[in-house]
Structure 1
């Protein structure tokens, strides 16, 4: 029986979870969720009902990073795992630092920038400039290598690019004309990839009566 992934297509947390599962060729049963009408099966789990959520037998993973690390531990492709999550302790600390800054410092400003009409204490430009502090760090790092940790994609890249994509989408014209050329090239490499097209395929909202949908789909 396949593990079950509750997901929402556009959620950046869910995107990074699905991208990791796809990269590691791990198949799950996909249950696409409409956030305003969450299925009873998800609500009945109790506790947090945010997405993504992964059910593996009696185990439940309610955070996207937990799903990513489960996938790394489950995968039999150790060559790829060692690139996505290098064994060097210093590299791992750097990866987690990038991810922590993204999730705890950048994401709040991203939300305010995207929904500036709800956060009327400051202007949209104010929130954008706060978020740009992270963009500058990313762009400076990517000026020296194609990925955040060097020559290979790691979970730092996978874990961050969906949020930068969302930030860029608030005002696409501004982002395309911004000074972050290295960041744009890095982001475009992800969003123009075949993997991203697979990750972002649209699925109907899951219902208990429907046929099982697998992700990634078998070719």
Structure 2
């Protein structure tokens, strides 16, 4: 059940960084759940003391509930939002073991693809001579997604799922490292899938730029779509 947005004291607070893929996936889930939160955008060089008091690790996203419960991991935030409301059935509630399969896929990408992706981005940034090797390390995971998307419209089935919105911010990063190579790569299904998100009204709203909270101390109600 969603909270009455007229009573902002009962809304959860979301500390977020606009282009962080972990924060992006959290915002996508909150938006899909139509779960209003008080959005506090920040930059990592100037973190609000309120966020650090709630979550000393100092990374985003962080959700602070009205009862002061803190949720610090992006997937946990996604699950919190979608367990409250899931109008698009992203959790595939009626399919046995569907959520477990989604979480396994997400964990594989978080634990392994992300490491390869970071190395790939660094190789491009510092013009290292192993960029091709780093790309190949990423491709084994992108190939998995291409195969899934050959079999059905989304990653798990013909229905959008938690896995889709969890992985799309990271594939977006992959696509931007060597843009021309990516556009000519054999991953046409991945390109189509990614573009369907990047060109959507949902993504535009999730990526909207807001004033930094630390400057104005003005909360933005986000997720009331």
Q: TM-score, normalised by structure 2?
A: 0.89
Aligned pair 1:196/2:206, yes or no? no
Equivalent residue, structure 2, for 1:167: 174
Give the equivalent residue in structure 2 for 1:98: 105
Question: Which residue matches 2:91?
Answer: 85
- 1:54 corresponding residue in structure 2: 63
Q: Which runs of 5+ in 2 are unaligned?
A: 1-8
Quote the Cα distance in structure 2 between the aligned partners of 1:121 and 1:194: 37
d(CA) in 1 for partners of 2:129 and 2:102? 32
Residue in 2 that maps onto 1:112:
119
| Matched residue, 2:79 | 69
Change over 3 Å in CA distance of 1:217–1:125 after alignment to 2: same
Instruction: Note the C-alpha offset of 1:122.
Output: 6.4
| C-alpha distance after superposition, 1:25-81 (max 9, x if no partner) | 111101111011112211222431100000012210000001011112222x5x53x
| 1:11 alignment counterpart | 20
Q: Secondary structure at the match of 2:210?
A: coil
After superposition, the CA RMSD in angstroms is: 1.9
Deviation at 1:118, TM superposition (A): 7.4
Query: What residue is the counterpart of 2:149 in the other structure?
Result: 142
Distance in 2 between the 1:141 and 1:46 partners?
36
Pairs aligned (count): 214
CA contact (8 A) 1:17 1:68 kept: yes
For structure 1, the residue ranges without an aligned partner over 5 or more in a row are none
Residue 151 of structure 1 deviates from its aligned partner by 1.3
Mapped contact 1:116–1:123 kept (Cα < 8 A): yes
Task: Output the CA distance in 2 between the equivalents of 1:103 and 1:96.
Answer: 10
CA distance in 2, matches of 1:95, 1:120: 35
Identify which of 182, 186, 200 aligns with 2:193.
186
Matched with 2:29 is 20
